[in-house]
Structure 1
Amino acid sequence: MRQKRSSVRFKYMAGMIVDATGSGMYVPLSLLYFHHVTGLPLTEVGAIVTTASVIGLVSNPVSGVLIDRFGARAVLVCGYLLRAAAFCVYPFVDNAAAMFAVVLPVALGDTSYPPAIQSFVAEIVQGADRDKLLALQRSLRNAGMGLGGLLAGAALALDDSGFYVVVLGAAAGYVLAASLLSTIRVGASARPAGGRVSRRGGYRMVARNRPFLGLTLLNIPTAFAYMVLSVALPVYLTRELDAPVSLVGIVYAVNTVGIALLQIPVTRHLVTYRRTRAVALGAGIFALSFVTFAVLGSLSTGAALIAGVFVATAMFTVGELLHGATASALVAQAAPEETRGRHLAVYQLSWAVPIALAPTVLTALLSLSATGMWLLLAAGTAGSALGVLRLERRLPRAAVHPEPPGAVPDVSESRSTREVA
Structure 2
Amino acid sequence: MDATDRLPSQVKALIVARAVNQLGGFSLAFLTVLLTRSFGTSLTTAGIVSAAFGLATIPSRLAGGRLADHWGRRRTIVAGLVALAVAQLGLAAAPDLITATICAVAMGLAFELFEPPSQATIADAVPPARRASAFELLTTAVAAGSLAAGVIADIVGRWSLRWLFVVDAGTGLACAAIVALALAPDAVRKPEHGAESDQPATSAISPWRDPALLIATVSGTVFALVSMLMLSALPLALGAVGLNPASAGLIMAASTGTLVLARPVLRRRWLAELPHSATFVLGYLLMAAGLCGYAVAHTLPALLVPTALYSLGNLLVLGRSFAVVSELAPASASARYLAVYGLSWGVATLLAPLVGTWLIGVSGAGLLWGVSAGVCGVMAVAQPWVVRRVRDSQRDLGVIHSTKAAVDRYDAVSI
**What is the TM-score with the length of structure 1 in the denominator?**
0.70
Map of 2:337 onto structure 1: 343
Establish whether residue 383 from structure 1 lines up as the match of residue 385 from structure 2.
no
Q: Secondary structure at the match of 1:41?
A: coil
State the distance in 2 between where 1:156 and 1:251 align.
14
Distance 1:7 1:376 in 2: 39
1:6 Cα deviation after fit: 6.1
Amino acid of the residue matched to residue 41 of structure 1? Answer: T
Q: Residues 285 and 316 of structure 1 are in contact (CA less than 8 Å); yes or no, is this contact kept in structure 2?
A: no
- Whether the 8 Å CA contact 1:334–1:395 is kept in 2: the answer is yes
How far apart are 1:14 and its partner, in Å? 2.5
Q: How does 1:215-234 map to 2 (within 5 A)?
A: 215-227=216-228, 229-230=230-231
Residues 318 and 46 (structure 1 numbering): CA distance in 2 closer, same or farther, change over 3 Å? closer
Conserved? CA contact 1:90–1:102, under 8 Å = yes
- Tell me the equivalent position of 1:283: 280
Q: Aligned partner of 1:319: which letter?
A: G
C-alpha separation in 2, matches of 1:340 and 1:192: 15
Question: 1:284, CA displacement in angstroms?
Answer: 1.5
Q: What residue number does 1:13 align with?
A: 15
- Kindly state the Cα deviation for residue 333 of structure 1 after the two structures are TM-superposed: 3.1
Deviation at 1:342, TM superposition (A): 2.2
- Contact (CA 8 Å) 2:224, 2:348: kept in 1 or not? yes
**In structure 2, do the counterparts of structure 1 residues 295 and 95 end up closer, same or farther at CA, with 3 Å as the change threshold?**
closer
Aligned residue identity for 1:269:
R
Whole-angstrom distance in 1 between the partners of 2:264 and 2:42? 39
**Residue in structure 2 matched with residue 151 of structure 1 by the alignment:** 152
The yes-or-no answer on 1:322 pairing with 2:316 is: yes
CA-to-partner distance for each residue in 1:339-391, whole Å, 9 max, x for gaps?
22222221112232234324544676796996777445422332123221343
In the aligned structure 2, how far is the partner of 1:112 from the partner of 1:32? 25
1: CA distance between counterparts of 2:12 and 2:291?
Answer: 43
Trace 1:192-271 onto structure 2 (pairs within 5 A): 205-227=206-228, 229-230=230-231, 255-263=255-263, 265-267=265-267, 269=269
Conservation of the 8 A alpha-carbon contact between 2:213 and 2:328: yes
Which of residues 166, 169, 172 in structure 2 aligns to 1:171?
169
Going from structure 1 to structure 2, the CA distance change for 1:191 and 1:66 (only over 3 Å counts) comes to closer
Q: Which moved more, 1:258-267 or 1:132-141?
A: 258-267
Structure 2 residue aligned with 1:67: 68
Q: Quick check: 2:60–2:111 contact (8 Å CA) kept in 1? A: no
- Where 1:183 maps in the other structure, the secondary structure is helix
Deviation, 1:286, is: 4.6
Name the residue aligned to 1:137.
Answer: 138
Q: 1:292 to 1:34 in 2, by over 3 A?
A: closer
| Equivalent residues in 2 for 1:52-63, closer than 5 Å | 52-63=53-64
Distance of 2:228 and 2:104 partners within structure 1: 23
Q: CA deviation at 1:118?
A: 1.1
Q: Which amino acid aligns with 1:258?
A: T
* Cα distance in 2, alignment partners of residues 8 and 374 from structure 1: 38
Contact 2:50 2:350 (8 Å CA) reproduced: no
Give a deviation string over 1:101-157, Cα, whole Å, max 9, x none. Answer: 322321111132332321232244344454333222211211212312322443456
Q: How big is each residue's C-alpha offset from its partner over 1:223-252, in whole Å with a ceiling of 9 and x where there is no partner?
A: 34434645789999999xxx9969x97876
Q: What's the counterpart of residue 103 of structure 2?
A: 102
Structure 1 window deviating more from structure 2 (259-268 vs 334-343): it is 259-268
Partner of 1:30: 31
Q: Does the C-alpha gap of structure 1 residues 225 and 102 become closer, same or farther in structure 2, counting only changes over 3 Å?
A: closer
Tell me which amino acid in the other structure corresponds to 2:174: L
Give the corresponding residue for 1:77: 78
- State whether residues 225 and 286 of structure 1, in contact with CA within 8 Å, keep that contact through their aligned partners in structure 2: no
Aligned equivalents of 2:268, 2:385: Cα separation in 1? 24
- Cα distance in 1 for residues equivalent to 2:255 and 2:208: 36
Counterpart CA distance in 1 for 2:238 and 2:104 is: 33
Contact 1:192-1:338 within 8 A present in 2 as well: no
Give 3-state SS (helix, strand or coil) of 1:343's partner. Answer: helix
1:283 is aligned with what amino acid?
F
- Structure 2: runs of 5 or more not aligned: 1-5, 194-198, 396-415
Letter of the structure 1 residue corresponding to residue 327 of structure 2: Q
Aligned to 2:413: none
How far, CA to CA, are the matches of 2:99 and 2:152 in structure 1?
27
Change (3 A) 1:195 1:314: farther
C-alpha separation in 2, matches of 1:29 and 1:317: 20
Q: In 2 relative to 1, CA 267–61 (structure 1 residues): closer, same or farther, beyond 3 Å?
A: same
What is the CA RMSD across the aligned residues, in angstroms?
4.5
Supply the AA of the counterpart residue of 1:220.
T
Q: Which amino acid aligns with 1:378?
A: G
Shift of 1:76: 1.3
The alpha carbon displacement at 1:54 in A equals 1.4
- After superposition, give the CA deviation of every residue in 1:6-64 in whole Å (9 maximum; x if it has no partner): 6434422321121000223x334434546666x45355555334323313324543332
Measured in 1, the distance between the counterparts of 2:206 and 2:18 equals 31
Indicate the residue corresponding to 1:403 in structure 2: none
Number of equivalences? 374
Q: 1:201 Cα deviation (Å)?
A: 8.3
Paired letter, 1:218: S
- After superposition, the Cα gap between the structure-2 partners of 1:195 and 1:128, relative to the gap in structure 1 and judged at 3 Å, is farther
